[in-house]
Amino acid sequence: MPRFLAAKPDADLIRLPWNVPLEAWPAQHLVALPRGISRHVVRFIQVGDDILAAKEILEEVAVHEYRQLTELRRLGVPAVEPVGVVLGRVDRDGSPLDPILLTRHLPFSLPYRALFYSGVKLDTVNRLLDAMVVLFARLHLIGFYWGDVSLSNILFRRDAGEFAAYLVDAETGELHPKLTKGQRAHDLQIARTNLYGEFSDLEAGGMLDQSLDPQWLVDTIEERYESLWAELTGVEEFSDAEMYRLEGRVRRLNALGFDVAEIDVSTSADGRTIRMQPKVVESGHHARRLMRLTGLDAEEHQARRLLNDMDTFRAKLPGNLSESVAAHKWLMEVFEPAITRIPRHLESKRDPAQFFHELLDYRWYQSQRENREVSLDEAAHGYIADVLTQLPDEQMGNIDPVGQELYNKFDPSQGFIEEDDEEAPYDPWEDGANDPDLPLAMGFDIEALRAKAAQQQERGK
Ligand SMILES: Nc1ncnc2c1ncn2[C@@H]1O[C@H](COP(=O)(O)OP(=O)(O)O)[C@@H](O)[C@H]1O
Ligand SMILES: [Mg+2]
């Protein structure tokens, strides 16, 4: 009899064919979804209404990974959700089988192989790289040494016009009270090696946009990480006449999506020099505010967009409503009615927060085009008809419209199969990237990095 180590063992789970090696599981239990490259046998399985990822793996490692993932979730870092470990498996002849680690399939997650596709815009790549860097920094802030950073171990989800990155493989991870500089550097070194290899593989397979160079990609990841880390943890010194810099730092961190729980400020003996260093920074500044006000669970940039809309709504209301009353009103009168407009059969295209973000974009474009105020209700009608129906399902990890199309057209022996020029589908994700009015990227000096990237690419030509 197998044993289940789980927070909530489920009857459907117990009935699965645990006495069969995962590789030989009957198709009726399996779900075909895109997957990254893995060392172990990994399959997606259907359990009741849930889809789980099952990984056959050695016992010590399975239990270790289960516990690491549980800790990471508890500490609020984006990681896949552990469901349990199945131990003590034996096959029909009584020979032992390796345990299976179960995690919940991350809905709306996008596989990286289709994200660096040929034709991808540099803007999109920048956003993916930023998301990865934010994930490393968040892990390092809580003292997590990953030990196996790689594209296959990261999942991406849309986050308004940006991306959010999730950790998927915690097998080699170690949680420490605090990481030393050496540990961080080592983790980064592993990232460099793995990522360089993966980007080079994509390049060799014709799956990497020609303007992207593996060496540049790993260099820029490291630079971005270092600049974000300096902003999050660096010491700043200034004169007593520049006290505003204290608030400036906190504001910049908030703009990056981090809250400062503890900041260390000291004054020199003569009182002329102030030294400050953030000691405890927590990510999810906007996501937490949104959760507190509305109970909605969203990614960081989605939360920022929703909060902006809520703040605008509040400013237009007569009387001086408190933030929490206005938030409730916004939820009931703006957000919920928009979401309930999504027809059932289209619900798997976008999660609600992403839908709302894209709807706001759509309304903005429509108002610009038609030079008039467009109501959210009217925009929802248009967005659902013009855009949502055209998009591939993403709940199951299908890829973005452009990527999906290119992915389908890719034939390893021939490269991309060209078709007649069609008008490009409306892609709110790309569109949003070009709109200067939309809340942009991570606050660290992304423009400078972009200019540098463009220069380097120019020089490389
Ligand atoms: N919970 C999950 N949700 C979505 N995809 C997953 C999940 N767990 C695993 N995968 C997919 O399976 C691949 C392999 O899983 P991983 O844990 O990295 O295995 P390995 O330890 O063998 O490298 C990942 O790259 C990812 O694409
Ligand atoms: Mg892996």
- Which pLDDT tens digit goes with each residue over 97-156? 999 999 999 988 876 766 776 667 788 888 889 999 999 999 999 999 999 999 989 999
The residue with greater pLDDT, 22 or 422, is 22
CB atoms within 10 A of CB 423: 5
Per-residue pLDDT for 404 more than 50?
A: no
Q: What average pLDDT does the segment 269-285 reach?
A: 90
Is 384's C-beta closer than 6 angstroms to any atom of ligand 1?
no
- How far the first Cα of the chain sits from its last, in Å, is 63
Alpha-carbon distances, residue 28 vs 9, 15, 17, 22, 423 (angstroms): 21, 13, 11, 13, 40
Q: How far apart are CA 140 and CA 317, in angstroms?
A: 43
pLDDT for 107 equals 85
Give the burial class of 436: count Cβ atoms within 10 A of its Cβ; 0-12 exposed, 13-18 middle, 19 or more buried: exposed
Q: Give the relative orientation of helices 300-316 and 352-370 as an angle to the nearest 10 degrees.
A: 60
Q: What percent of the chain has pLDDT over 90?
A: 55
Nearest bound ligand to the CA of residue 112: 1
Angle in degrees, CA 147, 148, 150, rounded to 5: 145
CA gap 132, 222 in Å, rounded: 11
Please tell me the residue having the least CA distance from ligand 1 atom 19. 38
Q: Confidence band (pLDDT; 50, 70, 90) for 460?
A: low
User: What is the pLDDT, as a whole number, of residue 448?
Assistant: 41
Q: How far is CA 102 from the centre of its chain?
A: 20
* Per-residue pLDDT tens digits for 326-338: 999 999 999 999 9
Asked if pLDDT for residue 421 goes beyond 50, the answer is no
Check: CB of residue 178 under 8 Å from CB of residue 143. yes
Contact 173, 147 (CB under 8 A): yes
Q: Is the pLDDT of residue 394 over 80?
A: no
Looking at residue 280, its pLDDT comes to 85
Residues 235 and 250: their CA atoms lie apart, in Å, by: 13
Structure tokens at 260: 């400062």
Backbone angles phi, psi at 47, to 5 degrees: -130, 105
CA angle in degrees (0–180, nearest 5) for 453-459-461: 105
Report which protein residue has its CA nearest ligand 1's atom 24.
36
Q: How confident is the model at residue 161 (pLDDT cuts 50, 70, 90)?
A: confident
Q: Are 4 and 14 in contact (CB under 8 A)?
A: yes
pLDDT value, residue 395: 60
Cα 281 to ligand 2 centroid, rounded to whole Å: 28
Ligand 1 pocket mutation pick from 149, 155, 166 by most atoms within 8 angstroms of CB: 155
167 lines ligand 1 (CB under 6 A): no
Distances (CA, A) of 15 to 25, 48, 270, 337, 394: 13, 11, 73, 40, 29
Residue 192 has pLDDT above 90, yes or no: yes
Grouping H, G, I as helix, E, B as strand and the rest as coil, residue 295 is coil
Which domains, and CATH codes, for the chain?
3-104 (3.30.200), 236-283 (no CATH)
The whole-number pLDDT of residue 180 equals 97
Closest C-alpha among 318, 244, 304 to residue 274: 244
Question: Using a 6 Å cutoff on CB, does residue 35 contact ligand 1?
Answer: yes
Residue located nearest, by CA, to atom 15 of ligand 1: 38
pLDDT band at 66 (very low <50, low <70, confident <90, very high): very high
Going from the Cα of 173 to the center of ligand 1, the distance in angstroms, rounded, reads 15
Ligand 2 centroid–CA 129 distance in Å is 19
Contact 238, 244 (CB under 8 A): no
Quote the CA–CA distance of 350 and 176 in Å, as a whole number. Answer: 36
Dump pLDDT digits (tens) for 238-268: 998 998 998 899 989 988 888 888 999 999 9
Instruction: Quote the pLDDT of residue 398.
Output: 42
Give me the pLDDT at residue 254, please.
87
Q: Which two tokens stand for residue 421?
A: 């020029």
Distance 169 CA to ligand 2 centre (A): 5
Q: Residue 174 and residue 182: Cα distance in Å, rounded?
A: 14
Asked if the model's pLDDT at residue 96 lies above 80, the reply is yes
Mean pLDDT of the chain: 83
Nearest-angstrom CA–CA distance, 369 and 351: 27
Average the pLDDT over each of 367-376, 392-401, 425-434 and give the range with the smallest value: 425-434
* Ligand 1 pocket member 106 (CB < 6 A): yes
Number of H helices, E strands in the chain: 15, 17
Q: How far apart are CA 23 and CA 41, in angstroms?
A: 7
